[in-house]
Structure 1
Amino acid sequence: MKSNTLTKSQPRLKFQEFIVNNTAQGSACHIFIAQPTPLEEKNFGKLFLLLELTNFQNKADEIFTKIQKSIATNYYCAEEFIIEVAFENALQQTNQLLQNITAAYGDEWFKHFHAIIAIAKDQEVHITSAGKVQGFLIQNDRILDILQQENTHANVNPLKLFSSILSGNIREGDSMFFSTESILDFFSQEKIKRIIQENTTEEAIRNFTEILSQSQTHNFAGIIVKTESEVLSGTNFITGTKETLTDEVQDSMQSLIQKEQTTHELLTPSLWPKIKTNLSSFKEKNNQKYFTPAKQEDKKEEKKQSKQHIPPSMKRALLLIFEGCKKITYWITKGLSILLRSVWSLLQKDKVKRFPAKMVHFPQRTGGILARIILAFQRLSRPRKILLLLSIIFIVLFAQSIMHQGSKREEEKSLLEYETKIDDAAKKIDESKAALLYKNEEGARAFLIEAQTILASIPETISVYQEKVEPKKKEIQTQLNEINHIRNFDNEAQVVADFSSINANLSLGALMVLQDKFLVTDATNGTMYTAKEDENPEIFVENSETQDAIKTMTKNNDVLMGFTQGAALKNIDLEKKTLTDVQVEFSTSEKQASDLNFYGGRLYVLDAEKNQIQKHIKTASGFGKGENWISDTNVDIRDAVSIAIDGAIYVLKKDGTIIKLFAGNKDPEFKQFAMEPKFSEARKITTLEEGKNIYILDGKNRRIVILTKEGQLVGQYISERFTDIRDFAISNDEKILYFLNNVQLYRVSISQ
């Protein structure tokens, strides 16, 4: 070990304020940043205010002084050391003061009063505001409006003015900026961010005042709160002893607190400090007298926790010893009954009956060491035999006792490890909530998945599983559903049409939403059905003789087309209620296509077998031979199941992956959201040419997923009614979702 110099960096909050008075006719501004004693700052942090009065300037100084004195006195003299409680109590007293001022001066001044009152302790921040003020959090490359309010309190009771508190943590490298409302007339949020991030607090204040001083009509006030690293140095410590510096800092702080208390006693003309000291001493003695067992239990718990970290090699060795002891105990117990019967025989008078028949011949039936041991035992006198047997019994019982204690300790240690895991999971859940405050959904999701993984390693057999683990799992799932925008609409889905009125055993196929009705195909034959909302369905085309059912429907401009299982393209005439063949030169692989679509009068067929999309040009008699549309050789769509077109083509693969293609090439700007839960049975994708979103059916997970056309998540809609979903469609205004489940057609309103 050698002597070194220790340098340690820790974040601290730095405050800098400015007031710019350009005109006597402008608003009156006031800033107060408390300068508490070290003990007060340790317990309560730092209080700061920003106040503005846009009228009644002649009363402003008096009102500001009263508010400052009230909030500072009530906060730093609070009996409660929990800063949230102390802050709330101080605000209640300040609200009472505002009521008194209103009673004295009338309520007209109150309409022109604007304020920010905040507490910062370490990295914890609590803020309340009233009126029109500005508050921003500057984090990394973002600036967030943390107040987000257009407050007017013309009709607000003064007793309830400061009743809402915003709480959170400011991290190292973050900054906060508070100001009067009019500052946004001179600076954009982006410019405010750059000034604060690219300069020290002093330079930032200088930049603000130089520009704001040029105004002739407004007065301004602002506060910058910035986290900066504070370097603490200590010398001549021994390398490897982490406690050295900590003890010195604690001793220094205790000395500082003791000096402050001593000074307070000397300056206070009262006997109360002495009485208080004596009462505290008496209380400590009583605590020691009556609560010593509890303290001993705490020490035992600390000792237990300190011993929980056992090296893996030692754990394996202990486990082997434990298993060996179990086997030894088993064999000793097995022979114990024979030994006990032997003791009983020795106590009998008749020596011939001292041993059972088995024991008499036992040496002759054995050999080697065991036979010699038994013969030696028989030669012992009766008292020695009894003493030996009693000793063996005692040893067995003692070994069992040791094993029981070891097993009990192992259970306690395991339970302690599981409790630690539960605490770790709870911390991850709290971190996810903090990430959501900054609208960081990806970060929150990562924390929740970590917590989920931790809890999954805890067996359901532990005693506290139902009490502590299950509630955490439910909380995680609730938060994940919220982050993943999952919405269950079991109670919102309404039945539009029930096709069981035609035949309860129908097997329906494709769905098409028309202007005033719905068209549905039969999955087993060429029959088609139609329905209107709140009316009984009816047969549209009766064609039960053919097995060539229509498996998908699409539109070519205003012409409705159907693609059959036999690879035939049909023209569906809604007026004549007929199906006619359309000539298309399909290749052999195209006849196995699972989907096709029209765009700009051209037919596009998903030819997954050839890893292509075939484009067919319109001809006089139908559509010509297909041409390879995909030119990007890196695109793989061999497991694709569906396509949607709006100028670009969206290709859906079985695993839910979406490939966006434009002019035959993959669009590099399309970034698909990492879906949770993952797709398990992606079956169909659709979009509208002028729509905002794309829609995907995930059959096994019973959900419809909505993404933007850039790949970002909009929402996930699930329902237990998706037991046998056949097809779905979206209304032209993208506000209603229709889904065909078994023989019923449902509708549900969606919000985006």
Structure 2
Amino acid sequence: MALLIKAASYRPESPSEKIHGMSQLIPLQGRNGFVFLLAQTKKENGDSELLLQTLSDHVHRLAESFGKDANAQHRFEQFLGALNETLAKHVREGHWQVPIEEFDAIVGIATGSQMYLSGCGELTSLFLHRKPSQRYQVYNLFRSIQTEQSLPTWEKAFAVVLDGDLHEGDVFCVTEKDLQREIQPEDLNHILAKLPPVSAVDKIRQYFPLKDALQLIVLKADLRADIQATSDELTHRSNLSVAQLTETEEETELLLEDQRPNFVALVGKVVALLVGLVRKEQPTSHLSVGTQAPQDRWKRLAKKGLTLTWKYTKRLGKTSLLHGKKLSSARGRDELVAHLKGTRGRLTHRFKKLFGRIDEVPRSTKYLVGGLVIALIVFSIGVSTLSKSKTRSAEQESYVARVEQIEDMIERAAGAIIYKDEDQARSLYGNARTLVENLPTDTEERTATAAEYLADIQVALDEISHLVTIPNPPLLGDLAELNESLKGNALIRTNDTLYAVGSDGGLYELLQSEKRFTVSVNGTGLSVVAAAAEDGAMYLLSNDGGSQVYTAGTETFDEVLTTNESLVDLVAYANRLYLLRPSTDDQEGQVLRSGRTGSTFGEPTDWISQRTADFSTAVSLAIDGTVFVLNKNGVITRFSSGSEVGWDAGTVDPPLTAATHIYTDGESAYVYVLEPDTKRIVVFEKETGDFVVQYRSESFSDLTGIVVDEADYSLYLLAGSKLYSIAASHIET
């Protein structure tokens, strides 16, 4: 486990930003950490420049001489001692006349999991420590320095040393500005805690006028368990891409391939040496072979190999034919047996002769050959082990670089969210997810790391998409308890009672306290496509040969309107029925209105007088005094007094492509859209059209109806045979 220290500093970028000081942030070579300095004087003159240059020289020498194995505390104390002595000497020799009261500075070192610092004067030095509860406790370190330090003098300007351990999430910020006065504490803490150092510096700079000089240093400690802690936060990797990463990976493989030992050449040379020793060849013969050009030697060997192969193939063929003929007779078989016995005898004799020649080899030569064989085996194992070690090391370095690139993208995406640039954040998170999916997962640790990154990215994308996932929404009732094949076609509410229109054309009342449905009107066989309610009356739209509207009686449905129009939705409003007719090849789309005449409704008439919107895929409408018409592709058009008015729905991610139902009323501040294919409900702010939130659940299969009670912060959803209730978390209490 290692802390990854990241840091960034702001320095004046234009001549108008005049400061009387300097800031230094120097990375430690070979170590994860930084040396930092921020100093200022009240006046700018030759004396102050010499003072600041002295500080800068000492800080750079500390960073350059800080070895890989150096003890941070010991080196920092040595540094302070030398710095105090130099400052005192300059003052005693009259090199500058800067009053100590006009000098403010802080100098420190952060490395590994520790930080040491010292200061003089008064600066803003904030340390945010993240507690186990994930809350931050804020300390002003300069107050601690001032409390412990007596009146400062040039004899020991940096008299107090503060030290402490760093933990994951800790943030250190130092500047000459009073940040806690200029920036609201909650905003400042959020910027420092949530943003990476580079983004935090940029964000804080925006709180000050462009001509107002600013010096600022921010350090942050992060924790990565699977990589070596390094820090290159000061350089963005925005120019990296998946394509470049793939090219780098291929180049690494080629380099590793070049480094693998050529065992064929090695074995060839060793065999040549051994043969020469056995045959007692002269060394010059061995050297002459070794000095041949590799290409010519391989050609000669290949030629000899082909020649011998052809020679022995022909001999084997002739011998096979000869023995095949002999096997056809008893005499031939006897001759073949005798021949095989003779061959075995000759082979035995030759092996004995060979071993005899080996026995004649001097014992020292035998030991030498045996030693060479053992040395060859040991050498081969060593080279193989070294090659594998180099391969693993290079692969690990490549893995670390890829992980760092992913973390950089995630941090920049988090910064984009703070700046309200959701498109940029979405793009960065998408690239980061692609990189994570290409990470190797050959160990359990790497698999867990990739899974953790993917989970974090998905949570962030859900946040950008304003997605609220509901794993187990409360179930209020199930029509399948009455009939296994029964589904819900529509949902309405009247007199604080919920009713579901069944797929059998029946009407079912929800007994909410008992969490079950009861039959209100038995199944009629009607093909109900929509339902509406007003002032205790319930209306059903059926498409059985044209369109019919029924009102629910005590135990039956009574027809109150019939038309040849092809209608898809209806709403009851102000004692009238509004019906939606999509555009077809034969007629234009329209919202029809029918007024009550006694116990029935009159012939529907066109309500829209002017529109430009496409109604070819219109699927639903809702009324709150104005009329909202929903198209299947999620486009919503608003009408007032029969005319189209401007209303644009905010961007939804992912976009709506198969919307089926829209809901709002005169008391609601929002517009709700159902999309069964994605099992979600999308919510828009009514007045502005801004996208607010989307609720999703795996339980929302086959959504067909929605009723909203914003006063009770509840959404009622009919999905298949089940009726669910979820909390409307988007409504402010």
Alignment partner of 1:603 is 2:640? no
Deviation at 1:540, TM superposition (A): 0.9
Equivalent-residue separation in structure 2 for 1:424 and 1:534 (angstroms): 55
Residue by residue, what CA displacement relative to the aligned partner does 1:552-602 show, whole Å, maximum 9, x if unpaired? 112478753211242665555456343122334334xx2xx5434456635
Contact 1:652 1:685 in 2 (8 A): no
Alignment of 1:19-34 (within 5 A): none
SS at match of 2:496: coil
8 A Cα contact 2:662 2:674, kept in partner: yes
Q: CA separation in 2, counterparts of 1:746 and 1:410?
A: 57
Q: Distance in 2 between matches of 1:313 and 1:495?
A: 54
SS in structure 2 of the partner of residue 449 of structure 1 = helix
- The corresponding residue for 2:594 is 618
- Alignment partner for residue 562 of structure 1, among 540, 558, 570? 540
- 1:307-386 paired onto structure 2 within 5 Å: 368=307, 370-371=309-310
Is structure 2 residue 490 aligned with structure 1 residue 510? yes
- In the TM superposition, residue 528 of structure 1 has moved relative to its aligned partner by 0.9
Structure-to-structure mapping, 1:368-447, within 5 angstroms: 368=307, 370-371=309-310, 409=390, 412-447=393-428
Q: 1:613 to 1:451 in 2, by over 3 A?
A: same
* Offset of residue 424 of structure 1: 1.4
Aligned to 2:523: 543
Q: Distance in 1 between matches of 2:408 and 2:248?
A: 25
Per the alignment, residue 686 of structure 1 pairs with: 663
1:519 counterpart = 2:519: no
Amino acid at match of 1:371: W
- The answer for the alignment partner of 1:207 in structure 2 is none
Pair 1:740-2:714 in alignment: no
Q: Does 2:507 correspond to 1:528?
A: yes
1:643 partner SS: strand
1:248-303 alpha-carbon deviations (Å, 9 max, x no partner): xxxxxxxxxxxxxxxxxxxxxxxxxxxxxxxxxxxxxxxxxxxxxxxxxx9xxxxx
Partner of 1:750: 728
Contact between 1:612 and 1:629, CA under 8 Å: does it hold in 2?
no
From 72, 76, 80, the equivalent of 2:117 is 80
Q: 1:439 and 1:667 mapped to 2: Cα distance?
A: 29
CA contact (8 A) 1:128 1:165 kept: no
Match of 2:432 in 1: 451
The 5-angstrom pairing of residues 441-520 of structure 1 reads 441-461=422-442, 464-490=445-471, 493-499=473-479, 502-503=482-483, 505-520=485-500
- The offset of 1:529, in angstroms, is 0.7
**C-alpha distance in 2, partners of 1:443/1:555?**
45
Alignment of 1:103-118 (within 5 A): none
Q: Please, which of 663, 672, 683 is the counterpart of residue 695 of structure 1?
A: 672
Between stretches 458-467 and 311-320, larger displacement belongs to: 311-320
Deviation at 1:94, TM superposition (A): 6.9
CA deviation map 1:638-695 (0-9, x unaligned) = 44543334424231425xx3232446887665142231x4557533222224422111
User: Residue 474 of structure 1: CA displacement?
Assistant: 1.9
Would you say the 8 A contact 1:614–1:626 is kept in 2? no
Q: Deviations over 1:352-373 (max 9, x none)?
A: xxxxxxxxxxxxxx96564369
Give 1:518 deviation, angstroms. Answer: 0.9
CA separation of 1:683/1:414 partners in 2, compared to 1, >3 Å: closer, same or farther? farther
State the Cα distance separating 1:723 from its structure 2 match.
4.7
Give the whole-Å Cα distance in 1 for the aligned partners of 2:250 and 2:482.
73
Residue 148 of structure 2 is aligned to residue 90 of structure 1: no
Give the greater-gyration-radius structure (CA): 2
What is the alpha-carbon distance in structure 1 between the residues aligned to residue 583 and residue 397 of structure 2?
55
The AA in structure 2 aligned to 1:80 is L
Aligned-partner Cα distance in 1 for 2:421–2:458: 18
1:450 Cα deviation from its structure 2 partner: 2.9
Instruction: Tell me the alpha carbon deviations over residues 93-142 of structure 1, each in whole angstroms, 9 at most, x when there is no partner.
Output: 67999xxxxxxxxxxxxxxxxxxxx99758x988445xxxxx35xxxxxx
* Structure-2 separation of matches of 1:393 and 1:370: 32
Mark the CA change 1:171 to 1:13 in structure 2 (over 3 Å): closer, same or farther. Answer: farther
Q: 1:730 to 1:324 in 2, by over 3 A?
A: farther
Label 1:659 to 1:368 Cα distance change in 2 as closer, same or farther (>3 A).
Answer: farther
Gaps of 5+ in 1: 1-7, 18-31, 45-68, 98-117, 130-134, 137-145, 150-161, 178-195, 202-224, 230-297, 299-307, 334-338, 348-365
Structure 1 residues 34 and 228 mapped into 2: Cα distance closer, same or farther (>3 Å)? closer
Distance 1:226 1:517, change over 3 A: farther
Identity %: 17
Is contact 1:489–1:717 with CA below 8 Å preserved after alignment?
yes
AA of the residue aligned to 1:542: N
| SS of equivalent to 2:400 | helix
1:206 is matched with which residue? none
Where do 1:216-255 residues align within 5 Å?
225-226=212-213
Q: Distance in 2 between matches of 1:490 and 1:436?
A: 26
Deviations 1:612-657 (A, max 9, x none): 5323343767454675959666x44544543334424231425xx3
Total equivalences in the alignment? 496
Contact 1:559-1:572 within 8 A present in 2 as well: no
Q: Does 1:707 align with 2:688?
A: no
Task: Spell out the pairing of 1:614-693 with structure 2 (5 A cutoff).
Answer: 614-618=590-594, 622-624=601-603, 629=608, 635-646=613-624, 647-654=626-633, 657-662=634-639, 670-675=648-653, 677-679=654-656, 681-693=658-670
Are positions 1:718 and 2:693 aligned together? no
The CA deviation at 1:423 is: 0.9
Report the secondary structure of 1:461's partner residue.
coil
Assess if the C-alpha contact under 8 Å between 2:549 and 2:562 holds in 1.
Answer: no
Supply the AA of the counterpart residue of 2:696: I
Name whichever of 407-416 and 506-515 sits farther off: 407-416
Assess, with a 3 A threshold, how the Cα gap between structure 1 residues 164 and 439 changes in structure 2: closer, same or farther.
closer
Aligned residue for 2:117, secondary structure, equals coil
Distance 2:378 2:18 in 1: 71
Give CA deviations for 1:444-497 in whole Å, capped at 9, x if unaligned.
444333322321222433664234322222222223333333334446x44434
Structure 1 residues 560 and 313: CA distance shift in structure 2, 3 A = closer
Structure 1's 323 and 176: CA in aligned 2 closer, same or farther, altered over 3 A? closer
Identify which of 200, 203, 207 aligns with 1:176: 207
2:105, 2:190 → 1: CA distance?
A: 18
SS of equivalent to 1:171: helix
**What TM-score, normalized to structure 2?**
0.53
Deviation for aligned residue 1:534? 0.4
8 Å contact kept, 1:486–1:715: yes
Amino acid at match of 2:556: T
Structure 1 CA distance, aligned partners of 2:462 and 2:630? 27
TM-score by length of 1: 0.51
Shift of 1:733: 3.6
Instruction: Pick closer, same or farther for the CA change 1:316–1:532 going to 2, 3 Å.
Output: closer
In the alignment, residue 589 of structure 2 is paired with which amino acid? I
* Structure 1 pair 172–166 and aligned structure 2 pair: CA distance change class (3 A): closer
Deviations 1:412-470 (CA, angstroms, capped at 9, x unpaired): 44443332221112122222333444455454444333322321222433664234322
Q: CA separation of 1:597/1:313 partners in 2, compared to 1, >3 Å: closer, same or farther?
A: same
Contact 2:429 2:461 in 1 (8 A): yes
**Counterparts of 1:324 and 1:580, CA distance in 2:** 91
Q: Which amino acid aligns with 2:142?
A: A
